[in-house]
């Protein structure tokens, strides 16, 4: 009976998908045929990109990725320019544009850098243990290939003619340069000049079904510094010495853990040092400390991140943190610095409208509709910088697993499907 049910389900799915594809216009069918014909090209391009180390702090590698991508865009009629970002100690951004007058002005957002630096042992695109793995394969070089392959399919059918599309590829999404007001200045300007922004971060699923992000959380960094009076450890807690920097740090972090809870809010301590001397270097994300067990520590530093659903939640949490910090242990002091970060991306009517148009394409392709993903399940991204100015959606990139860790994999079987979806979505946005 189970085999019969499986067979019946397969037949029904095939018939449904066939009916959906039959309902596509001739032009849509031609676009899909071009996607199919370009699959070998797309896989070769992905391998070429993944095999280039483009860790954020490897500017030569990031530029090399841009050097591969630039002629690809130019062959499709895009005019490209490189925006150097030496002033924020990063490689730069690649911006490729076509100017036209039909449909919506669409901004495509991606990034060329990965979390895997030059000294990482994880460097190559390969088949391993039945999976396709590679540094940045899913996050997000697979998304860049989907973007380009969809544009290539449209171009082969003259469906890019008269369209207005800008691809903005940052070179420092994983570790953005500071200040962000400079690092994301040009991206924000591109968002203000667009009608729709599509981000090609990895595809996500909810309960086994594809989902889309029309809201995202923020990502901010904080640096907490505590100080104490250095002295021989025999005098700790005593008058004139006090509790020392590390006990003060422990008090604050414990109260953060106990008192800051709020729906959708997370706050993580990623690094902690303390001793007679302690220091943190934000440019390299490294810290050092020295001291002796019989000396009351003079300094401690903790570095963490905070992710919020709304700007109001961020400000409210800041106020709670400042109050906790102000209630010092004897002989200690503390201060916190909140760094520039990725803003939250609230759900808007414009974002919902973009998802509605995407689901129109999903139905035409015989694919399941995509529900909005809970923003607490998705990290921050470059899309958040333009979201205040333009309707925005994310999750159009590659499907995979294990992002940001050695062994990151990409689901190659989903690449053609995602490319078809994106190609028809771009056609819909730029021709209606």
Counting the structural domains of the chain, the total is: 2
Encode pLDDT of 127-141 as tens digits.
998 999 999 999 999
- Flag whether pLDDT at 278 surpasses 60: yes
Mean pLDDT of 146-165: 98
Q: What angle do CA 253, 255, 257 make, to 5 degrees?
A: 70
SS3 93: strand
Query: Which pLDDT does position 4 carry in this prediction?
Result: 45
166 and 265 in a single domain? The answer is no
206 and 64 in a single domain? The answer is yes
Query: Which pLDDT does position 401 carry in this prediction?
Result: 95
Encode pLDDT of 246-275 as tens digits.
999 999 999 999 999 999 899 999 999 999
202 and 258 in a single domain? The answer is no
Residue 121 covered by a domain: yes
Residue 4 covered by a domain: no
49 and 68 in a single domain? The answer is yes
Q: Give the residue from 338, 370, 404 where a domain finishes.
A: 338
Query: Which pLDDT does position 378 carry in this prediction?
Result: 78
Tokens 């997000």 belong to residue: 140
Using pLDDT thresholds of 50, 70 and 90, give the confidence band for residue 21: low
Per-residue HEC secondary structure of 261-311 comes to CCCCCEEEEEEEEEECEEEEECCCCEEEEECCCCECCCEEEEEEEEECCCH
Say if residues 173 and 382 touch (Cβ distance below 8 Å).
yes
Short-list 409, 417, 413, 412, CA closest to 136? 409
Say if residues 217 and 375 touch (Cβ distance below 8 Å).
yes
Using pLDDT thresholds of 50, 70 and 90, give the confidence band for residue 228: very high
Q: Which domain holds residue 254?
A: 220-338
- Flag whether pLDDT at 2 surpasses 80: no
226 and 361 in a single domain? The answer is no
Using pLDDT thresholds of 50, 70 and 90, give the confidence band for residue 8: very low
Q: Which residues contact 58 (CB under 8 A, 6 or more apart)?
A: 91, 117, 118
370 and 420 in a single domain? The answer is yes
Cis before residue 193, ω within 30 degrees of 0? no
- Flag whether pLDDT at 331 surpasses 60: yes
Using pLDDT thresholds of 50, 70 and 90, give the confidence band for residue 20: low
291 and 210 in a single domain? The answer is no
Mean pLDDT of 196-220: 94
Q: Give the residue from 319, 338, 357 where a domain finishes.
A: 338
Q: Give the residue from 286, 310, 338 where a domain finishes.
A: 338
Mean pLDDT for all residues in the chain = 93
Tokens at residue 201, please? 């971060």
């Amino acid at each position: 009976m189970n085999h019969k049910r499986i067979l019946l389900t397969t037949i029904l799915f095939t018939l449904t998908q066939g009916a959906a594809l039959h309902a596509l216009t001739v032009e849509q069918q031609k676009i899909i045929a071009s996607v199919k014909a370009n699959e070998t090209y797309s896989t070769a391009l992905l391998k070429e990109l993944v095999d280039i180390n483009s860790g954020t702090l490897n500017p030569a590698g990031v530029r090399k990725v841009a050097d591969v991508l630039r002629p690809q865009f130019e062959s499709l009629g895009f005019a490209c320019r490189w925006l150097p970002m030496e002033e924020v100690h990063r490689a730069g951004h690649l911006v490729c544009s076509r100017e036209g007058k039909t449909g919506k002005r669409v901004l495509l957002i991606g990034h060329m850098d990965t979390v895997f630096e030059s000294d990482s042992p994880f460097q190559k695109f390969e088949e391993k243990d039945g999976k396709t793995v590679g540094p940045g394969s899913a996050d997000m070089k697979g998304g860049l290939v989907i973007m380009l392959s969809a544009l290539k399919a449209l171009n082969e059918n003259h469906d890019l003619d008269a369209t207005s599309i800008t691809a903005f590829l940052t070179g420092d999404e994983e570790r953005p340069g500071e200040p962000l007001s400079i690092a994301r200045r040009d991206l924000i300007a591109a968002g203000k000049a667009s009608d729709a922004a599509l981000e090609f971060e990895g595809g996500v699923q909810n309960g086994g079904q594809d989902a889309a992000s029309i809201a995202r959380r923020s990502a901010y960094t904080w640096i907490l510094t505590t100080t104490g009076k250095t002295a021989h450890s025999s005098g700790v807690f005593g008058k004139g010495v006090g509790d020392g920097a590390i006990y003060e740090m422990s008090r604050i972090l414990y109260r953060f853990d106990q008192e800051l809870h709020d729906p959708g809010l997370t706050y993580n301590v990623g690094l902690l040092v303390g001793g007679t001397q302690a220091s943190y270097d934000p440019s390299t994300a490294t810290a050092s400390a020295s001291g002796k067990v019989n000396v009351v520590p003079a300094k401690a530093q903790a570095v963490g991140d905070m992710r919020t659903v709304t700007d109001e939640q961020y400000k409210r949490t800041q106020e709670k943190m400042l109050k906790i910090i102000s209630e010092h242990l004897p002989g200690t002091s503390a201060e916190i610095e909140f760094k520039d970060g990725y803003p939250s991306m609230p759900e808007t009517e414009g974002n919902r409208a973009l998802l509605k148009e995407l689901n129109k394409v999903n139905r035409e392709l015989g694919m399941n509709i995509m529900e909005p993903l809970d923003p607490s399940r998705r990290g921050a991204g470059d899309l958040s910088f333009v979201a205040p100015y333009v309707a925005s959606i994310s999750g159009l990139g590659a499907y995979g697993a294990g992002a940001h860790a050695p062994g990151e994999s990409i689901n190659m079987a989903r690449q053609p499907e995602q490319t078809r979806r994106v190609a028809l979505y771009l056609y819909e946005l730029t021709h209606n």
